[in-house]
Amino acid sequence: MGIKTSEEYLASLKKQTPEVYIGGEKIHDVVNNKYFRISLEEMCKFHDWANDPEKEKDFVFWSPLVEDKVTFWTHLRQTTDEVQRLLEVMKKNNARNFCSMCMITGLNVLWAVTYDIDKARGTKYHERLKTFFRELQTNDFRYCMGVMDPKGDRSLPPSRQADPDLYLRIVEKSKDGIIVNGAKMHTSDAPITHFIFTCPSGVLREADKDYAVSFAVPVDTKGIKFITRPAPGPLAPREMESPVSSHIGFVECLTVFDNVFVPWERVFMCGEWEFTENLISYFSPYVRICKGTCTSARTDILAGAAALISHYNGTDRASHIKSKITDMMISSEIGWGCALASVSKSVMHESGIPIPDTSISNAGLYNSRLKFIEFLGTLQEIAGGIVTTMPAESEYLNEESRAYIDKYLKGRKDVPTKDRLKLLYFIQDLTASRFGGYLTASAICAGGTPETNRVEVFRSYNLLDQIKNVKELCNIK
């Protein structure tokens, strides 16, 4: 059945034996490893949502593919309404939980591009993919999208790198399948999912056709190695000092494919370099609407934190404080508005899924992600220098020093010092910690960079039409 409990999820992980490097060691049991605590807790939370009757509307769907209920994380969205609903859930949910694991939209992208290839080439990728999706849905499997290649010298294409493995590539084909070599970067939480799913990270030319490869394999497939870093939060929860990062965060991986065999039934692209342009053009708006929505929702958190700490500090009526919070609101609405508008201007792909508008989604995200960085500073300004100079939690736990902290770190008289301190630690967690650094990175680098957004707007905007208009306005023939 298509919805697992968190217990079932953990049980399923225990059956897997991925090769994981963490804390200086090689391990195979992720479930009982301290470095995975935070990320597993977060993944279990997602499973719990799908089993929570109050959240069913948001996280459970009827899938025509399997004629059963499936979860938010395996459901294929086939209408603009479904895509908009996905965003509505993310908007609400990320403003409380930071993340909803939105890589599900990668399904849509591969759905469309495999259709294109089959149609042009008579291949069977789309049918295989459908079969695989049914397997995902039926078992409520999680998967990690491996998209970004290590890329080596960015001024050179894959085939001209000093080491040909710096982009994931096909090294051998046989009647049973293919052998691939290389690595994928930024494969968040991969060892605690069931499958790793790959596709090319950019548009390829003919010379790079061996790099045009997409497939899915179980995470404990021979030859796959996860070289990791733990989530940025503390090993043991610190509820006061690290209220968010104690519970939220990914184990990040460099995922190495050391001559990994993939059977044909799980290969979804194999050499069709001409279709990487489609792949990227479908990916772009899907990633941007998710990232735009997520950035908007996280900006909402900053706005809420700014409003609350200014209340605690007694500065909430200062006009510059209101103005700064208004800046946050504006940016949040722009990110959100452009994501919604991009969906509303979707075009339907022949395979039966909508492709949102590229230009609007990139424009909106571009604006909001840059503003998000500024707001991390703004939030510190509103909270005060105390964010990085206040005593450590250990001093609050020491009764002798606690008395002084209670006395001197008090804000408004009707707010307990402890509440103000909790909020200040929260703001530290967001803006002055390794987790805060991850929020910056997530805003700036995840889902393409601001520069990527610019390039895609330039490419997708209809400049020729405007040049024509201007010529007419000037009476230029």
Q: For a copy of itself, which stretch binds (CB under 8 A), given 62-70, 172-180, 192-200, 304-312?
A: 304-312
- Residue 180 burial class via C-beta count within 10 angstroms: exposed 0-12, middle 13-18, buried 19 and up: buried
Q: Output the smallest distance, CB 256 to a copy of itself, in A.
A: 5
E strand spans, 92-163: 143-146
Would you mind telling me the total number of residues written for the chain in this entry?
A: 477
Which residues are CB-contacts of 152 (< 8 A; sequence separation ≥ 6)? 161, 162, 163, 166
Out of 300, 346, 349, 354, which residue is the one contacting a copy of itself (CB under 8 A)?
Answer: 300
- Between strands 195-198 and 224-229, the pairing is unpaired
Of 114 and 453, CB closest to a copy of itself: 453
Say which residue the tokens 């090993």 belong to: 235
Q: Output the smallest distance, CB 49 to a copy of itself, in A.
A: 15
- Residue 124 burial class via C-beta count within 10 angstroms: exposed 0-12, middle 13-18, buried 19 and up: middle
Out of 60, 102, 353, 446, which residue is the one contacting a copy of itself (CB under 8 A)?
Answer: 446
**Under DSSP, is residue 214 helix (H, G, I), strand (E, B) or coil?**
strand
Say which residue the tokens 């409990």 belong to: 5
Out of 219, 224, 308, 353, which residue is the one contacting a copy of itself (CB under 8 A)?
Answer: 308
Of 204 and 306, CB closest to a copy of itself: 306
Asked whether position 340 contacts a copy of itself by CB under 8 A, the answer is yes
Interatomic CA distance for residues 84 and 92, integer angstroms: 12
Give, as ranges, the residues between 204 and 223 that touch a copy of itself (CB under 8 A). none
Out of 325, 349, 351, 355, which residue is the one contacting a copy of itself (CB under 8 A)?
Answer: 325
Phi, psi at residue 140, to the nearest 5°?
A: 50, 45
Q: Output the smallest distance, CB 21 to a copy of itself, in A.
A: 4
Interatomic CA distance for residues 67 and 2, integer angstroms: 10
Of 121 and 320, CB closest to a copy of itself: 320
Asked whether position 203 contacts a copy of itself by CB under 8 A, the answer is no
Q: Output the smallest distance, CB 199 to a copy of itself, in A.
A: 17
Q: Output the smallest distance, CB 106 to a copy of itself, in A.
A: 17
Interatomic CA distance for residues 212 and 353, integer angstroms: 23
Q: Do 315 and 382 touch, CB atoms closer than 8 A?
A: yes
Q: For a copy of itself, which stretch binds (CB under 8 A), given 1-9, 47-55, 192-200, 355-363?
A: 355-363
Q: Output the smallest distance, CB 116 to a copy of itself, in A.
A: 26
Asked whether position 30 contacts a copy of itself by CB under 8 A, the answer is no
**Under DSSP, is residue 444 helix (H, G, I), strand (E, B) or coil?**
helix
Tell me how far the alpha carbon of residue 265 is from its chain's centroid: 27
Q: Which helix (H) or strand (E) holds 261?
A: strand 252-263
Out of 5, 16, 21, 68, which residue is the one contacting a copy of itself (CB under 8 A)?
Answer: 21
In the shown chain, the binding pattern of residues 78 to 107 toward a copy of itself, with x for contact by CB under 8 A and - for none, equals ------x----------xx-----------
Interatomic CA distance for residues 64 and 74, integer angstroms: 12
Q: For a copy of itself, which stretch binds (CB under 8 A), given 122-130, 193-201, 261-269, 305-313?
A: 305-313
Of 75 and 186, CB closest to a copy of itself: 186
Q: Which helix (H) or strand (E) holds 347?
A: strand 347-348
Q: Output the smallest distance, CB 438 to a copy of itself, in A.
A: 5
In the shown chain, the binding pattern of residues 259 to 298 toward a copy of itself, with x for contact by CB under 8 A and - for none, equals ----------------------------------------
**Sheet bearing 252-263, strands edge to edge:** 25-27, 19-22, 224-229, 252-263, 177-184, 169-173
**Alpha helix (H) residue ranges in 314-357:** 319-344
Asked whether position 413 contacts a copy of itself by CB under 8 A, the answer is yes
Q: For a copy of itself, which stretch binds (CB under 8 A), given 113-121, 132-140, 194-202, 325-333?
A: 325-333
Q: Do 445 and 436 touch, CB atoms closer than 8 A?
A: no
In the shown chain, the binding pattern of residues 45 to 84 toward a copy of itself, with x for contact by CB under 8 A and - for none, equals ---------------------------------------x
In the shown chain, the binding pattern of residues 137 to 176 toward a copy of itself, with x for contact by CB under 8 A and - for none, equals -----------x-x-xxxxx-----xx-xx----------
**Under DSSP, is residue 260 helix (H, G, I), strand (E, B) or coil?**
strand
Six token digits for residue 409? 């770190």
Q: How many positions of this chain bind a copy of itself (CB under 8 A)?
A: 152
Q: Output the smallest distance, CB 378 to a copy of itself, in A.
A: 8
**What type of residue sits at position 239?**
E
Of 42 and 300, CB closest to a copy of itself: 300
355 half-sphere exposure, CB direction, 13 A CA radius: 19
Of 129 and 355, CB closest to a copy of itself: 355
Q: Do 109 and 286 touch, CB atoms closer than 8 A?
A: yes
Asked whether position 436 contacts a copy of itself by CB under 8 A, the answer is yes
Give, as ranges, the residues between 107 and 126 that touch a copy of itself (CB under 8 A). none
**Under DSSP, is residue 68 helix (H, G, I), strand (E, B) or coil?**
strand
